[in-house]
Amino acid sequence: MKTVSRAYDSYAQARAAVESVEKAGIPSGDVSIVANKYVSAEHADVEDVNGAVTGAGIGGALGAGAGLLAGLGMLAIPGLGPVVAAGWLASGAAVAAGGAVAGGIVGALVDAGTNREHADIYAESVRRGGTLVTVRVPDQDAARVEALLDQYRPVDPVARGAEYRKGGWSTFDPKAPPYRPNQTEIDRMRANWPG
């Protein structure tokens, strides 16, 4: 098995990517999405989810044909705080040790086979308002899934990391204060949000 991850600047891009891989026959149980809480007006003011998963589908089995996006809910991930998420990666990151090097979203990504530098950039992308899509696939399907995900203009982790470093960032810091986007950024993140 191989893990393919892509971060997107908007939820709309990530949603389209998830729908594309599901239509291509990838089971919902092998797909995960983690979005900054500001993608949803309903969840934007949530500061504490008491460590409990509030979305019925997060990490669990979904009804036949429901798809991953039907299971979106709130949960807390160490280093990111409350996020809107669904799937295996979100579930694993939520139960990881609070912010430890091997815990949280970075630890879950690294454990799934993502290199550490990209894992840090993906986590920082979510912290700053992006949405992460991660797919587990048999090795022989990896190139096909990468091509599907790449159709929706994901961020280039190398270029994005360089951009972050120009601003003084060096690595994902699970203890960094929560990012507070401005209204323009919130509007971008919420583009095509279903709820």
The whole-number pLDDT of residue 104 equals 82
What is the spatial order of strands in the sheet that 73-77 belongs to? Answer: 2-8, 131-137, 31-36, 81-87, 73-77
Report the relative pairing of strands 81-87 and 2-8 from DSSP bridges.
unpaired
Q: Please state, as a whole number, how many other Cβ atoms lie within 10 Å of the Cβ of residue 46.
A: 16
What predicted TM-score, i.e. pTM, was given to this entire model?
0.83
> What's the DSSP call for residue 60?
S
Judge whether residue 66 has pLDDT over 60: no
The whole-number pLDDT of residue 27 equals 93
Band (pLDDT 50/70/90 cuts) for residue 51 is very low
Band (pLDDT 50/70/90 cuts) for residue 190 is low
| Spatial CB neighbours of 126, under 8 Å, sequence gap ≥ 6 | 7, 34, 35, 36, 80, 83, 105, 132
pLDDT, mean of residues 87-99: 65
Judge whether residue 56 has pLDDT over 50: no
| Residue that wins the pLDDT comparison between 96 and 166 | 166
The whole-number pLDDT of residue 8 equals 94
CA distance linking residue 75 with residue 83, whole number of Å: 6
Q: Give the pair of three-digit tokens for residue 73.
A: 């809910």
CA distance linking residue 158 with residue 151, whole number of Å: 18
| Residue that wins the pLDDT comparison between 61 and 105 | 105
| Residue that wins the pLDDT comparison between 96 and 6 | 6
pLDDT, mean of residues 78-87: 80
The whole-number pLDDT of residue 194 equals 59
Judge whether residue 126 has pLDDT over 60: yes
The whole-number pLDDT of residue 73 equals 76
Judge whether residue 174 has pLDDT over 60: yes
Instruction: Indicate the range of 11-25, 66-80, 171-185 predicted with least confidence.
Output: 66-80
| Residue at token pair 């949803």 | 40
Paired residues of 164 in beta bridges:
none
The whole-number pLDDT of residue 83 equals 82
Judge whether residue 191 has pLDDT over 70: no
Identify whether the C-beta of residue 111 lies closer than 8 Å to the C-beta of residue 98.
Answer: no
Among 55, 34, 17, smallest CA distance to 129 is for 34
The whole-number pLDDT of residue 65 equals 43
